[in-house]
């Protein structure tokens, strides 16, 4: 790997929290961030989170063990707080004594964070708004992940640059903060760590790697896509709160709109309650992602992708992607230092 002298000075806290050389994280993507990809990222000196979705607890245990067989480096698990198996997943993660646990979905409760920390884990939580970030800091999390709405999959309501100003600038000295969403180049990483980030998280870029075992059709769709084609899904009615999902527009996007309308009719007829309605929505996306990423149905499956899909046209080995990010970040920092030296 490339020398990272300047980066090391800027993201040291991220290195220490994650226990890695390069605090570049591969985000947890259901059906995608499995043991092979996670271990390859970790073996390259970076960091990755194992996605558990709503898999059976015993399968989750097997995934953790399989990852440990493939790497002796630290990795995390990403627990989805709204998944039916969430509490079982938390038990598995605690018993496995993983070094880092990431909470996604809705906010974890303070006792759940304490349970993870009592097992020796560092706790990271996604903060999609300033209010949520403040609450999680009160709960004692070890770090925050700021994911802007530019990201793929389930997204928050606020764009990344706004979150940087509201949260990164305000709390970067208090806890390590990692930036996610809209990142695909080393140059971007250079500016984020200069602003105070302790590391970054990428998802879409790691889909376009040789070690990512998604269907070839899935990668081909990514290769052809433009940034504007990664669109967020709309919410039709406040009675059916829908966490927006950013994905490439296809026939399946239209099917999701039809599904929302059908569910709203069933709500009107009192055939289902709101909780069941929201579960129906989530089932669509879990099943749709499997249909696209694993089965290769890119017409009706869910092509979850961030807007950086327009920057990732080439498939490379994981190690090559990380080396490119490090090289370009280090070069950009050197260029900035030279430029500033001329004026300061």
Residue with the bigger pLDDT between 289 and 189: it is 189
Between 284 and 142, whose confidence is greater?
142
Distance CA 71, CA 87 (A): 26
pLDDT digit string (tens) for 53-99? 889 999 999 999 999 999 999 999 999 998 889 999 999 999 999 99
Encode pLDDT of 226-248 as tens digits: 999 999 988 788 788 777 889 99
**Which CATH number does the domain 5-213+311-341 belong to among 3.20.20.70, 3.40.710.10, 3.40.50.2300, 1.10.645.10?**
3.20.20.70
Boundaries of every domain in the chain: 5-213+311-341, 226-307
State the SS3 of the chain: CCCCHHHHHHCHHHHHHHCCCCCEEECCCCCCCCHHHHHHHHHCCCEEEEECCCCCHHHHHHHHHHHHHHCCCCCEEEEECCCCCHHHHHHHHHHCCCCEEEEECCCCCHHHHHHHHHCCCEEEEECCCHHHHHHHHHCCCCEEEEECCCCCEECCCCCHHHHHHHHHHHHCCCCCEEEECCCCCHHHHHHHHHCCCCEEEECHHHHCECCCCCCHHHHHHHHHCCHHHEEECCCCCCCCCCCCEEEECCHHHHHHHHHHHHHHHHHHCCCCCHHHHHHHHHHHHHHHHHHHHCCCCCCCCCCECCHHHHHCCCCECHHHHHHHHHHHHHHHHHHHHHHHHCCC
| Token pair of 341 as six digits | 């030296």
pLDDT, residue 5, reads 93
Q: What mean pLDDT, rounded, does the chain reach?
A: 94
pLDDT for 287 equals 85
- Taking only the tens place, the pLDDT of each residue in 188-215 is 999 999 999 999 999 999 999 999 999 9
Q: Residue 116: is its pLDDT beyond 60?
A: yes
Token pair of 138 as six digits? 């009160």
Q: Which residue has the higher pLDDT, 72 or 342?
A: 72
């Amino acid at each position: 790997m490339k020398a990272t002298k300047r980066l090391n000075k800027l993201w040291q806290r991220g290195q220490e929290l994650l226990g890695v050389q390069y605090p570049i994280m591969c985000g947890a993507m259901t059906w995608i961030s499995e043991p092979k990809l996670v271990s390859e990222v970790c073996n390259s000196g970076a960091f990755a989170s194992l996605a558990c979705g709503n898999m059976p607890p015993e399968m989750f245990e097997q995934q953790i063990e399989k990852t440990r067989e493939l790497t002796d480096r630290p990795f995390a698990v990403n627990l989805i707080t709204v998944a039916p198996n969430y509490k079982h997943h938390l038990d598995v993660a605690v018993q496995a004594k993983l070094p880092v646990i990431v909470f996604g979905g809705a906010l974890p409760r303070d006792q759940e964070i304490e349970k993870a920390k009592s097992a020796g884990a560092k706790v990271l939580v996604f903060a999609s708004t300033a209010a949520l970030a403040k609450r999680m800091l009160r709960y004692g999390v070890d770090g925050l992940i700021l994911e802007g709405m530019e990201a793929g999959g389930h997204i928050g309501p606020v764009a990344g640059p706004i979150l940087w100003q509201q949260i990164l600038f305000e709390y970067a000295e208090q806890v390590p903060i990692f930036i996610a969403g809209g990142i695909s180049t080393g140059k971007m990483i250079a500016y984020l760590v200069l602003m105070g980030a302790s590391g970054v998280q990428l998802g879409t870029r790691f889909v376009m790697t040789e070690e990512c075992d998604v269907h070839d059709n899935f990668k081909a769709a990514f290769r052809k896509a433009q940034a504007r084609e990664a669109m967020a899904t709309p919410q039709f009615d406040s009675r059916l709160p829908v966490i927006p999902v950013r994905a490439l527009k296809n026939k399946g996007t239209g099917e999701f709109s039809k599904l929302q309308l059908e569910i709203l009719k069933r709500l009107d007829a009192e055939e289902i309650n709101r909780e069941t309605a929201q579960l129906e929505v989530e089932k669509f996306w879990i099943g749709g992602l499997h249909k696209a990423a694993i089965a290769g149905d890119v017409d009706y499956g869910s092509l979850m992708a961030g807007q950086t899909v327009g920057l990732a046209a080439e498939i490379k080995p994981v190690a090559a992607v990380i080396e490119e990010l490090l090289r370009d970040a280090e070069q950009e920092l050197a260029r900035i230092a030279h430029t500033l030296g001329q004026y300061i």
